[in-house]
Structure 1
Amino acid sequence: MVELTVPYESRMEEAHAFKEGKYLDLTKLELKKDGYEAKVMPVEIDARGFVGSSAYGLLSKLSIGGNKRTKALRLLAETAENISRWIWSRRNERLLHKD
């Protein structure tokens, strides 16, 4: 299971630990009881586009290496930064409201 988090840059380690613990009961108790094995892989890419080492590790485990991994990491960073910029630019808009 891959869980993507886009934390503020100073909370990368905290976000990783939180996501690992979030699914602990599900993976260790519920799924194992039903005969499944699951691994939780939290991935952090901060709001400014810094890609945590967890993303590198995920791509490695998926056998994505070399230039493909470099390109994927760059795309992940650019996407996180672009989405964060878009959210920030609309911070004063009411997206969900009832009239």
Structure 2
Amino acid sequence: AQSALVAESATYKAMLRGAEQQLSASRQDHARERDTHAEEAERRAEASEGLAAARDRLAHVTAEAASLREAQRYAGEESSRLNAEVRKEHAAAALAAEKL
């Protein structure tokens, strides 16, 4: 009877060791999954920051382009005004030359 108890005890000890090993493996798997999720969250955060920076840069470039278009429009108007002044001066000079 005692040998049967020893054998049964050994069986339960072996089952316990197997269960402990399974628990340890499950904990390791869980830790790896947690690390993977943390890495993915970090990558998503970095991508989100990159996207925000790209949007900021796009807004800046868009505003700069609008400013350049405005400057170009002003330069065109100023060029037209100066050309008109030069034409008037040439006409006045030609008129003065005719009077001589």
TM-score, scaled to structure 1? 0.28
- In terms of fraction of residues, the more strand-rich structure is 1
Q: Tell which structure's C-alpha radius of gyration is larger.
A: 2
Question: More helix per residue: 1 or 2?
Answer: 2
